[in-house]
Chains A and B, each alone.
Chain A
Amino acid sequence: MSSVEFRKDLFADERPENLNEIGLPKQRQDALGHVTGRSPYYDDNLYDGLLHMRMVRSSEYHARIRSISLNGADMMPGVVRVIQAADVPHNINTLLSLIGFGRDDEALLQDKKVSYRGEAILAIIAETELQARKACQAVRVDYEALPHVLDVEEALKPQAPVVNEEYPNNTFDYYDRYDHQKLRFGDPHAAMARADHIVEGEYQMSPIEQAPMETCGAIAVPETNDRILCHTCSQALFFSLGTTAKLLDTPSSRLHFKGGTVGGGFGGKVDSLNEPMAVLGAKLTGRPVKFTWDREEEMQVGAPRGAERWRIRDGVMNDGRIIAREFTGFFDSGAYTRLSSYAVVKGTAHLPGPYTIPNVASNVYCVFTNRTPATAMRGFGITGVDFAIECHMDKVAETVRMNPIELRLLNAYRDGDMKPHRRVAKNTAYIECCQVAAGKADWAIAPEYSAMSSLRDGGGERASIPLTMIDEEGRIGERKRGANIDTAPSKITKDSGRAPSVIPILEATQAMGEQAAGRPQVGKATSPAPQPSAPPAPAPAMAPSQTPSPTSAVPAAPQRSAFARLQASEPAAPSQSRPVEPQPSTPTPPSESEQPYRPSEPFSRGVKRPGASPFISGRRR
């Protein structure tokens, strides 16, 4: 029945054999419905008097709307209602405001400026879909074309047009401080200086449309008691409900969202806007309204996996050890934020891939361009950079003339190793994956590589957090003001002689780790107790010059993530004199939450309600 091969010989002692689900083939819960053709889809709900909604969309990539002329569309046969921006009660939102991340930047319907081709301007509801289409065709929009920008790095230039008024620098603001997400671990620049080879590469991924068989759509139906029922194919029913409640300024108790079968989603139905439009239509007409995209809309305005550009720069020794890795990454968010801001954070936590590299730095940008807003798709934030990393590993292997799988095994992370975002790696299993893949592909690897295990030789010195170079480069708006700043991570190094910022990041992180573990903080040990370095590389994972005594005192065990706290808790406006970057002191709520609670707003999610337990925490990730 299943073509899955379970390798129970690996990690045999980590998993009991008497589990009922894990390790057993499992039939999909919807398989029977699908093969018998009985799975109910949202579009299977039939209603008398169902109305159909179509959208007038921007034909321009970037333009100011001078005027909109209905041109008699509202009087055409079958037309019941025209919905314009002014009809949307709270016409501004960002998806992740529901978890308190980012600022509202996207209107449901635009009447002032369009920022991508296909952006919704107004909606027409008619008795038939054809009538709605014809009415849409009659509408005339007078545009004043604006210069547009379609490339992420062009968008960072000072003279680039402003895509998104909420983020005038064309970049998402991270922690109210930087125009990018930073990751700093060790001193990559110094390590590069002593590396035998520098290997550089640039990798570009195009947007990818999820292309579900069932296009995005929703049917909204007035119920009794001023309630609206909404059938939807959304992948994220409660995201949809929250978004609809917010945009329509409606208590969520007035909305009855009914999901069910998703006819293919793959991320493309996480942030659909069909639901608020259909519900608004039902409220304004008092009749059932269906708003379904056709295929062209699915392709043109359906949010894809965003394009990504990555530059990787590695410092590599002749024996194949990668001693430093630098990333410069650009996520093309399109015209609005949607989920790309989060993808950047998620992607950063993944760097430098499943490898233990003692010096890592990355600058990752969430960039606004006049393209279709990007969203989730299958491991987004990770998939693109993984493609870049693995292409780059092959390039490194070629440079040092090494078997590419052996190169990966040599640099693979192991259980107990410290990841650059200050989490200890566990259940890594990458070494075993490489070994099995090599075996399946009849790809020869040397016996010492076959004998490696992710369970052994990790941790110890590899669990330590090195002295880390930090910097303040890339403040919000600096680039726009014309400051000539490289997009790549800072070149500041302790060897450069201009280093006021060699900061042992140890103390605070250690304190955090102990705090998290519920232990009292022990004295700051300084005893030099060099840990044995990890085989197989004969040299230590970090050069001696990089392992000053404080690092070896880091307890290998529970290090709470400084990174996780950095996102949620970093004070918004640190003083310039405070040099250490990721040093949270007391948790402070994100800036969005600093505004006082406004009870006049009928809808308010848990994160905005003081004292209530958060529905979805903005701090979990």
Chain B
Amino acid sequence: MIAVETYASADQAATALHGDAVFLGGGTLIMRAVNYGDLKTERIVRSTDPAMKSISTSGERISIGAAATMSDVMLNPQLAFLAPVARSIGGPAVRNMATVGGNLFASHPYGDFAVALLALDGRVSVAGSGEEDLGAFLARRSSFSGVVTEVSIARPATGDFRYRKVSRIKPKGVSVMSLAAWLPRSGGRLSGARVAFGAMGNTPVRANGVERALEGANLDVSGIAEALRAVRTDLQPPDDPIASSWYRSEVAPVHLRRLLLDEEVS
């Protein structure tokens, strides 16, 4: 039998997470695995901590509780720029369950919400320890054991955040790739741009070469040319049933151009 343990606070839940226990967020990943006969899961730990569901937009950075669902994000007017991202995750039933924290653990080719968080300088808060950079966190997520309580992100100026999900089936298809960019400008030129890709590696990843190429560039056809060249070599996308590694590399510049220039796609 699988035991399910519920704790009132995130800290208590974190303490209970030892041995073969897993922490349950929305359940769209873990319960699917359990129902399909995952033999690793013996104990499921969950928390009803209300703090984990809160969304705070008052500070300089925005804090989103790890237990906030995709639907919660879509309903919050302060997070209107993230609504299209949340909307690209699953169908309505999944969005009502799937959490922001859980998305950080969604394996390839899922985890599109984390791509947006990564582009927005996401930082992860873990119960019982401090804040850490989302990129570093994603790199070690497979060995992570603990409870993520919230993710904070920068507040982009209007029009500075871009997101696209490329899939073969709309509106619910799995990602060929997802792309997110935070494009702060100073004096008309890009400064400190962050570009992240999903389904282009084992985890959501930043495209460092692209970001370097965009530094000081104008956001126009010639300004981004170097970045489009860089994206081909920046990432090592995997083969999967959705697309081959070769295909993903070939089309990445096209989708990056559409993202950066905000081109309409018919």
Contact = CB atoms under 8 A, between A and B. Distances in A.
B37 A129 contact: yes
A295 B37 CA distance: 10
B37 A294 contact: yes
B35 to A, nearest CB: 8
Contacts of A295: 36
B254 interface: no
A133 B39 contact: yes
A137 B36 contact: no
A129 B36 CA distance: 10
B2 interface: yes
A129 B37 CA distance: 8
Contact of B36 (A128, A134, A296): A296
A296 B39 CA distance: 15
A128 B37 contact: no
A130 interface: yes
A566 to B, nearest CB: 43
Contacts of B39: 130, 133-134, 137
A134 B2 CA distance: 13
Interface string B1-30: 110000000000000000000000000000
B37 A133 contact: yes
Q: Is the interface of A mostly helix, strand, loop or mixed?
A: helix
Interface in A338-369: none
A134 to B, nearest CB: 6
Interface string B218-259: 000000000000000000000000000000000000000000
A497 B37 CA distance: 67
A295 B2 CA distance: 20
B97 to A, nearest CB: 19
B155 to A, nearest CB: 42
A568 to B, nearest CB: 44
Nearest to A137: B39
For the side of the interface on B, what is the size category? under 10
A130 B36 contact: no
Contacts of A133: 37, 39
Contacts of B36: 294-296
Interface string B46-72: 000000000000000000000000000
A430 B186 CA distance: 68
Contacts of B37: 129-130, 133, 294
Contacts of A134: 39
Nearest to B36: A294
A126 to B, nearest CB: 12
Contacts of B2: 130
Nearest to B1: A128
Contacts of A130: 1-2, 37, 39
B233 to A, nearest CB: 34
Contacts of A128: 1
Interface in A278-316: 294-296
Interface string A571-610: 0000000000000000000000000000000000000000
Nearest to A132: B37
A133 B37 CA distance: 7
Nearest to A133: B37
A139 to B, nearest CB: 13
B134 to A, nearest CB: 32
Q: Which of B1, B2, B36, B37 has most chain A Cβ within 10 Å?
A: B37
A133 B1 CA distance: 12
Interface string A433-466: 0000000000000000000000000000000000
Nearest to A127: B1
Nearest to B34: A130
Contacts of B1: 128, 130
A296 B32 CA distance: 12
A133 to B, nearest CB: 5
Given A130-B1, A134-B39, A294-B36, 11 more contacts: A128-B1, A129-B37, A130-B2, A130-B37, A130-B39, A133-B37, A133-B39, A137-B39, A294-B37, A295-B36, A296-B36
Interface of B: 1-2, 36-37, 39
Q: Which 10 A-B pairs have the closest CB atoms?
A: A133-B37, A294-B36, A294-B37, A133-B39, A134-B39, A295-B36, A137-B39, A128-B1, A296-B36, A130-B2
14 contacts: A128-B1, A129-B37, A130-B1, A130-B2, A130-B37, A130-B39, A133-B37, A133-B39, A134-B39, A137-B39, A294-B36, A294-B37, A295-B36, A296-B36
